[in-house]
Amino acid sequence: MRQNQFLQKDKKKVIAEHRAAMACISRSEHYLTLGDFKAAERFAIDYLKSVHELMKLEQRKWSNDRLMEVVKELSNKGVLIEVIPVRRETIG
């Protein structure tokens, strides 16, 4: 993984998901070697879940970086920008 691939605030989650992915792929390989294909498949699926979570965290970093670029561009053009925290509420 690259140094600036994820947001700093996601560091603990990234490390946990990376470790989980590595453990799952190792277990999947182990069970595949033993011929337990169901267990191998189960760990392979869990591996993919961790990889997808890492991809989401990477996308979050990319989106944040892009937002900061837009803010900088607008600021350079003289547009007054104020960051307003958005409170997200769940529906239902």
pLDDT digits (tens, 9 = 90+) for 69-86: 988 888 888 877 776 666
pLDDT digits (tens, 9 = 90+) for 14-31: 999 999 999 999 999 999
In angstroms, rounded to a whole number, what is the distance separating the alpha carbons of residues 45 and 42?
Answer: 5
pLDDT of residue 88: 60
pLDDT of residue 23: 98
The CB density around residue 40, as the number of other CB atoms within 10 Å, is 18
Can you tell me which residue has the tokens 């997808």? 52
The rounded mean pLDDT for the chain is 90
pLDDT of residue 84: 62
pLDDT digits (tens, 9 = 90+) for 19-69: 999 999 999 999 999 999 999 999 999 999 999 999 999 999 999 999 889
pLDDT of residue 71: 85
What angle is formed at CA 35 by the lines to CA 33 and CA 38, rounded to 5 degrees? 115
